[in-house]
Amino acid sequence: MLLSLLHNGKPSMSTAVFANSDRHVVLRRILGAGAISIYFSAALPAAAADAPTGGMPGTRAFILSNIYVGNAGETGACGKLTDSAPETFLKSLPSSEQQNYAAPDKHNQLFALMQKQLGFKWIQLAQRNQNKNQLSPYWDKLVIDVAPEHARIEDVREQAGIPEGKGAIVFNHHIVAYDSCTDPQDFPMLNTGFHPYDGKLAFGIDLDGKRGRDQFNSPSGEPGVDNQLWRVLGCMKHFREFGNPENADGTLFSAAAPTLIEISRIDDTNNDSDVSVAVFSSIDPLIADGRGVALANASYTIDTRPELIAHTRGRIVNGVLSTDPVDLTMHYKEQIIDGIRQLRGVRIRATLNADGSIKGGFYGYYMLDSFYDSIKQMTQLGANLSNLSCPVIHSALQRYADGYPDATSGRNTAISSALNFIGVAAFAIQPSAIAEGSRYAH
Amino acid sequence: MRIKLVPTSRLYLRILKDSLTLSLLCSAAIYSIANCATASSKPAIEPSITLRRLTEAQYRRSIADIFGNDIKIVGNFEPDLRVNGLLAEGSTQVSVTPNGLEQYESAARSIAEQVTDEAHWNNLVGCEQTHADPRAERCTATFFRRVGKRLYRRPLRDTEVATAVADTLAATKKLGALRSGMSATLAAMLTSPDFIFRIERTANIDDNNRHPDATPLDAWSRAARLSFLLWNTTPDDELLAAAQSGELITEAGLARQVERMMASPRFNDGVRAFFDDFLRLDGLNTLSKDATIYPAFSPRVAQDAREQTLRTISELLVNRRGSYSELFTTRRFAMNRTLGPLYDVPVATKDWSFYQFPDTDPRAGLLTQISLLALYSHPGRTSPTLRGKAIREILMCEEIPAPPANVNFSVVQDTNNPELRTTRERVAAHLNDDNCASCHKKTDPIGLGLEKFDGAGRFRALENNEAIDSSGELDREPFDGAAALGAALAKSQVASTCLVQSAYRYAVGRAILPREQSTIARYEQTFVGNEYRFIDLIRTIATDPQFYTVAHPVQHAAVADRKETPL
């Protein structure tokens, strides 16, 4: 009876297997989603009464297959594109030398020359018992007593000959580097050729309620969009290409630890004035289907570390979810990157599609250190793998940062941003439910 | 309802042919292995009544049981043959081709090398050349006597043991190491028809109750029949001991062994093996779907769907002592994370668990599991005809003729037909053709009941935006939807009779003989009386002395004339 009332008199699409599911719905109503353990959450479009469903009634969850800095598609906004570090270095060479290194097949030689002339260090970590033949023949090696993933920069810096307080462990904990990405301030000669994005369009929303000339219009015409991160990145070839939704929506990224969004206390998936929204990180990798896109309706176990869980409230209007601001820390784990995305004051806006998928964005302030860390982790010989210029990005981030000023210095520590995302229906599983799941096993 | 019968005389002819073929093939194998003149090259075994080639699963399980799970069996085996719907029935009708023999030989060499390698020697062989036994003859004899009994499912004759020892010594001398000598002889035994085939023999046992045309099997053959029925593997030491002592010949002794084996967790293996064969789930090994239409389906899904069905069955029928009819209505499915997305359910554990679908859910019973739904569909669309045919042939033991060669499938295959938007509408075209209608009337009304599940087994309410009508009829009984179809099958006497017949055919590896009709009728009666509990049916068969008989080998003079050496 209670369940029927909670669902506006509609029969539940699923009573699933859980004898206590009704009780949980009631508890959720009283205490809020964050106050009790969540067992399963399901993402399901409105379906026929006899459609099979699973998970908690009134709850939808999504696994995000890509979160990216979106390119709103305005053409002609960049007179010139920002130079990458190798391009800047090449221009600094005498014209006779430039010809020797200009061709694409000379990139490795150009990198080597840059490394030599600018004093970059690139040292591969190896355990004492590791077969040295397995190490790269191109870089210096450093034998350490612990596994590379446990090495600390302080412990290896001196052995590697890196100046005090400098350098970083990058490349999935296997490289100790000192270059223009780990220490951009040490290489001002590469901090040239920046072109900010001066277009009118950018993804995002009005975060601060203020109007000014630094703001954009959204592709849907919404004015006052705060997205200074796009101002920094919008004329860089890498972000223009990979931020294009046509490319990005079909790409699986951060697949090693994807992000989940769960919406609960839903009475009506099209219009509901009060829903609970949680953002989780999955400890399971993203699962792809036969087409190479995210598989719908898969189960993912959530990472229960408190810093990786965020709760907020929201509302659904005509199938579009909007939330109150919330601080987010999301895993960012893909190939050589193992970091976090730390955003503050994030509002989620997303369309809940009839096919069970979701598309929208995290609109808020990206912490500078967190964003730059992801750039730094892509470093290779001082030239970002994506052919960016780390000193340019680092400098521009400081210049255009517009939020969360440091209490002491007054310097802004975050930059307004819009991270687009796309996802499919999923089930968010609490590890506690895994133990409980054994109830159903013989 | 029709069941094909294999005439008795034809069966014997095939056995004779198989024996001859095998004999030739085995000679080839024996000479290919260093210095191995095995017992199988000598005409010293009793006249055999039936030969059943081990299925691949039985071969693998037997090796694991005898030598341990860590012995790897590499390579593929010759495909098993399905006859009258059962691989078990095909197992009595297959021999070994030259190519197949190469595969057996390759596997045998690999197994023998592992058994005699340094890692396994002490545990599995343990022979050393000592002062007291400088050529390890006694130890070698002990080893082959022990292992040979498990491999051949009977004790080795003294002459066989002596030959094995002599062969080992000769091979050791030639190859330079006792391990190599043992390995060569063991490989020869693993390639022997005594291992690859279950050779059943008769014995002179007084039994007033048996049919005058039936001859009882000897104790060793009984042990093998029982073990492969209940555990799908070679007899264990206790069962062989019961054979040796004569316990298996007595009804009480047989019942004791049956109870012991059915109480073992390994009974699940036997039940799984039967249903894997009965439901033809091996087809999932090679099942593929169009990834653009069914992107969630993958080879892994197919593999886990097979496992899901077998786990669901063994949980219900064995662990919960459920009835066969419940298989068509159960909402308790084994589940894992590979299958969860297709069922659209959360799966908490990363291993297998059980998921209970609510009573309002359209999923109910085996017919709504991905294994059968996907197996009996086309790569890119459903097929009420294939699904209905599978139900008729497998679950109801009826035979549906193959379609004529000149059928025009274009209408049925055109899933984008703007006029005929649902499968129901498209298959109706068949019913307008008198040539097709007679068969399709039997299959399609059943298969249409499963139309709310697509070709990969996912639920769908719509097809081309049209609501799907999943009503149908089973032998003039109307139903609406898959759950109702399952409920109708659960009540079907034809289905329960089919199961009894199939279980018996599986157990004996051949078609039912005319003289066995009364036996089958008795089984059916008992099955009904036991509320369709499958394990009781198996117990009935396994404890029935009739099960341990074969037709009198009067026509078997050619084989019987051979010289015999008693075991």
Q: How far apart are the first and last CA of chain A?
A: 31
Mean pLDDT of chain A: 83
What's the mean pLDDT in A30-42? Answer: 36
Q: Is the pLDDT of residue A419 over 70?
A: yes
What's the mean pLDDT in A408-429? Answer: 96
Q: Is the pLDDT of residue B318 over 80?
A: yes
A297 → closest Cβ in B315, B344, B358:
B344
| Cα-based distances in Å from A187 to A87, A120, A191, A280, A389 | 14, 10, 7, 38, 11
Give yes or no for a contact between A243 and A70, defined as CB atoms under 8 angstroms apart: yes
What's the mean pLDDT in A192-197? Answer: 94
Count of C-beta atoms within a 10 Å radius of residue B489:
25
CB contact under 8 A, A299 and B481: no
CB contact under 8 A, A299 and B347: yes
What's the mean pLDDT in B33-41? Answer: 29
CB contact under 8 A, B348 and A298: no
Q: Is the pLDDT of residue B389 over 90?
A: yes
Q: Which residue has the tokens 């059916």?
A: B524
| Cα-based distances in Å from B152 to B145, B193, B215 | 10, 9, 22
Chain B nearest-CA distance from A339, in A, is: 26
Count of C-beta atoms within a 10 Å radius of residue A103:
10
- Which letter does DSSP use for residue A123 in this model? E
Residue A118's pLDDT is what? Answer: 92
3-state secondary structure of B283: helix
Q: Which two tokens stand for residue A275?
A: 């829903």
Residue B3's pLDDT is what? Answer: 29
B53-93, pLDDT tens digit by residue?
999 999 999 999 999 999 999 888 888 999 999 999 999 98
Report chain A residues touching chain B, CB-CB < 8 A: 11, 14-17, 39-42, 44, 47-55, 287, 289-291, 293, 295-299, 301, 427, 429, 433-434, 436-438, 440-442
Closest residue in B to A356 (Cα) is B344
Task: State the pLDDT confidence band at A14, using cuts at 50, 70 and 90.
Answer: very low
The rounded Cα B420 to chain-centroid distance in angstroms is 41
Q: Is the pLDDT of residue A326 over 80?
A: yes
Q: Is the pLDDT of residue A300 over 50?
A: yes
| Cα-based distances in Å from A286 to A82, A337, B14, B92 | 33, 16, 55, 48
Residue B60's pLDDT is what? Answer: 96
CB contact under 8 A, A429 and B291: no
Q: How far apart are CA B277 and CA B180, in angstroms?
A: 38
CB contact under 8 A, B346 and A42: yes
Q: Which residue has the tokens 């298959």?
A: B427
Question: Residues with Cβ < 8 Å from B113, sequence gap 6 or more?
Answer: B183, B187
| Closest alpha carbon to B224 in B500, B550, B559 | B550
For B41, how many CA atoms within 13 A lie in the half-sphere containing its CB? 15
Give yes or no for a contact between A283 and A303, defined as CB atoms under 8 angstroms apart: yes
Q: Give A329's strand partners.
A: A342
What's the mean pLDDT in A37-61? Answer: 54
pTM of the entire predicted model: 0.84
What's the mean pLDDT in B496-517? Answer: 94
Q: From the candidates B301, B304, B333, B361, which should be mutated to test the interface with A, based on the most A CB atoms within 10 A? A: B361
Q: Which two tokens stand for residue B400?
A: 């549906």
- Of A136-140, A163-167, A243-247, B140-144, the least confident: A136-140
Q: How far apart are CA A334 and CA A341, in angstroms?
A: 12
Q: Which residues of B touch A17 (CB under 8 A)?
A: 355-358
Q: From the candidates B268, B355, B360, B363, which should be mutated to test the interface with A, based on the most A CB atoms within 10 A? A: B360
Question: Residues with Cβ < 8 Å from B394, sequence gap 6 or more?
Answer: B85, B278, B279, B280
What's the mean pLDDT in A60-76? Answer: 92
B150-171, pLDDT tens digit by residue?
999 999 999 999 999 999 999 9
Q: Which two tokens stand for residue A178?
A: 């000192």
Q: Is the pLDDT of residue B38 over 80?
A: no
What's the mean pLDDT in B478-497? Answer: 95
Closest residue in B to A18 (Cα) is B356
Q: Rounded to the nearest 5 degrees, what angle is found at the Cα of B168, between the Cα atoms of B166 and B173? A: 100
- Which letter does DSSP use for residue B319 in this model? I
B395-423, pLDDT tens digit by residue?
999 998 887 776 667 767 777 777 777 88
Q: How far apart are CA A22 and CA B348, in angstroms?
A: 18
Residue A19's pLDDT is what? Answer: 30
Chain B nearest-CA distance from A49, in A, is: 9
Q: Which two tokens stand for residue B125?
A: 């062989």
Count of C-beta atoms within a 10 Å radius of residue A116:
9
| Closest alpha carbon to A314 in A32, A6, A14, A10 | A32
Q: Rounded to the nearest 5 degrees, what angle is found at the Cα of B216, between the Cα atoms of B215 and B218? A: 130
CB contact under 8 A, A52 and B291: no
Residue B133's pLDDT is what? Answer: 79
Q: How far apart are CA B536 and CA A112, in angstroms?
A: 78
Q: What percent of chain B has pLDDT over 90?
A: 67
B219-235, pLDDT tens digit by residue?
999 999 999 999 999 99
Residue B212's pLDDT is what? Answer: 66
| Closest alpha carbon to B514 in B112, B75, B7, B124 | B7
What's the mean pLDDT in A430-440? Answer: 61
Give yes or no for a contact between A347 and A316, defined as CB atoms under 8 angstroms apart: no
| Closest alpha carbon to A197 in A69, A86, A101 | A69
Give yes or no for a contact between B14 and B93, defined as CB atoms under 8 angstroms apart: yes
The rounded Cα B410 to chain-centroid distance in angstroms is 37
Q: Is the pLDDT of residue B266 over 60?
A: yes
Q: How far apart are CA A44 and CA A358, in angstroms?
A: 11
Chain A nearest-CA distance from B263, in A, is: 17
3-state secondary structure B89-132: HHCCCCCCCHHHHHHHHHHHHHHHHHHCCHHHHHHHHCCCCCCC
Give yes or no for a contact between B512 and B5, defined as CB atoms under 8 angstroms apart: yes
Q: Rounded to the nearest 5 degrees, what angle is found at the Cα of B473, between the Cα atoms of B472 and B477? A: 140
Q: Which long-range contacts (CB under 8 A, 24 or more apart) does B102-105 make?
A: B103/B75, B103/B76, B103/B77, B103/B78, B104/B29, B104/B77, B104/B190, B104/B191, B104/B196, B105/B29, B105/B32, B105/B33, B105/B187, B105/B191
Q: Is the pLDDT of residue A79 over 50?
A: yes
A114-151, pLDDT tens digit by residue?
988 999 988 888 877 766 666 666 677 888 888 888 88
- Which letter does DSSP use for residue B200 in this model? E
| Cα-based distances in Å from B354 to A255, A436, B340, B345 | 28, 12, 11, 11
Q: Which helix (H) or strand (E) holds B151?
A: helix B137-152
Residue A344's pLDDT is what? Answer: 98
- Of A435-439, B121-125, B477-481, the least confident: A435-439
Residue B464's pLDDT is what? Answer: 84
Q: How far apart are CA B96 and CA B80, in angstroms?
A: 11
Residue B8's pLDDT is what? Answer: 31
Q: What is the ipTM of this complex?
A: 0.82
Residue B365's pLDDT is what? Answer: 97
Q: How far apart are CA B114 and CA B108, in angstroms?
A: 10
Q: How far apart are CA A155 and CA A169, in angstroms?
A: 11
Residue B43's pLDDT is what? Answer: 28
- Of A169-183, B110-124, B359-373, the least confident: A169-183
Chain A nearest-CA distance from B43, in A, is: 51
For B276, how many CA atoms within 13 A lie in the half-sphere containing its CB? 23
Q: What percent of chain B has pLDDT over 70?
A: 86
Give yes or no for a contact between B235 and B223, defined as CB atoms under 8 angstroms apart: yes
CB contact under 8 A, A442 and B319: yes
Q: How far apart are CA A381 and CA B59, in angstroms?
A: 57
Q: Which residues of B touch A295 (CB under 8 A)?
A: 295-296, 341
CB contact under 8 A, B346 and A40: yes
Q: Which residues of B touch A297 (CB under 8 A)?
A: 340-342, 344
Helices then strands, each counted (H, E), chain B: 25, 10
Helices then strands, each counted (H, E), chain A: 12, 16
The rounded Cα A130 to chain-centroid distance in angstroms is 33
Q: Which two tokens stand for residue A135?
A: 């190490």
Q: Give A350's strand partners.
A: A321, A360
Count of C-beta atoms within a 10 Å radius of residue B177:
11
Q: How far apart are CA A410 and CA B53, in angstroms?
A: 84
Closest residue in A to B460 (Cα) is A51
- The amino acid that residue B163 corresponds to is T
Chain A nearest-CA distance from B463, in A, is: 13
Q: Which helix (H) or strand (E) holds A437?
A: helix A431-437
A232-274, pLDDT tens digit by residue?
999 999 999 988 888 888 888 888 899 999 999 999 999 999 9
Q: Residue A193 — left, alpha, or beta (φ > 0 → left; ψ -120 to 50 → alpha)?
A: left
| Closest alpha carbon to B29 in B221, B162, B187 | B187
Task: State the pLDDT confidence band at B209, using cuts at 50, 70 and 90.
Answer: low
A437 → closest Cβ in B315, B348, B357:
B348
Residue B553's pLDDT is what? Answer: 52
B348 → closest Cβ in A44, A51, A433:
A433
Q: Is the pLDDT of residue B21 over 50?
A: no
Most confident option among A10-24, A108-122, B48-62, B99-113 = B99-113
What's the mean pLDDT in A332-349? Answer: 91
Q: Which residue has the tokens 């193959």?
A: B402
Give yes or no for a contact between A348 and A47, defined as CB atoms under 8 angstroms apart: no
A53 → closest Cβ in B315, B344, B352:
B344
Q: Which residues of A touch B459 (CB under 8 A)?
A: 51-52
A297 → closest Cβ in B291, B340, B452:
B340
Q: Is the pLDDT of residue A388 over 80?
A: yes
Most confident option among A375-389, B15-29, B375-389 = B375-389
Q: How far apart are the first and last CA of chain B?
A: 44
Q: How far apart are CA B463 and CA B446, in angstroms?
A: 18
What's the maximum distance between 2 C-alpha atoms anywhere in chain B? 90
